[in-house]
Amino acid sequence: VQLQASGGGSVQAGGSLRLSCAASGRAFSLYNKAWFRQAPGKEREFVAAIRRGSGHLYYADSVKDRFTISRDSGKNTVYLQMNSLKVEDTAVYYCAADETLILSQIRVGSAYDYWGQGTLVTVSS
């Protein structure tokens, strides 16, 4: 599967952005889907994920209640709605997908085989 992320940009603190990740290739519904981010000088970190099949949602504590991950199976797209953005949310955001990871790996970046190119989100004060 090939992933194409979009929707990044610059926004003031407190604002909102919606990221999109469009997939081509095999049916996206077969994959666990996630968003990760990497801030300058920091390691990549988990943001949110959707479990294949059940559709259960998982969030990092730092974004819970502010970010929402969702999917549109008809469009083969996964979204990340980001509200109440903070300066510390500034990062390059990556979408990722994997068909075979187990539940305990859903927050682990190295468990994902497919990655989009990243989209930059800049939040200013």
Q: What is the pLDDT of residues 26-40, one digit of tens each?
A: 788 889 999 999 999
Each residue of 89-113: pLDDT tens digit? Answer: 999 999 999 999 999 999 999 999 9
Task: Identify the band that residue 4 occupies on the pLDDT scale cut at 50, 70 and 90.
Answer: very high
Strand, coil or helix: 62: coil
Question: What is the DSSP annotation of 67-125?
Answer: EEEEEEGGGTEEEEEE-S--GGG-EEEEEEEESS--GGGTT-GGG--EE---EEEEEE-
pLDDT at 48: 98
Mean pLDDT along residues 43-51: 97
The pLDDT tens digits for 12-23 are 999 999 999 999
Q: Quote helix, strand, coil % in the chain, to nearest 5.
A: 10, 50, 40
Q: What is the mean pLDDT of the chain?
A: 96
Instruction: Give the torsion sign (CA, 44, 80, 92, 111).
Output: positive
* Amino acid 57: pLDDT: 97
Is there a contact between 121 and 15 (Cβ–Cβ < 8 Å)?
Answer: no
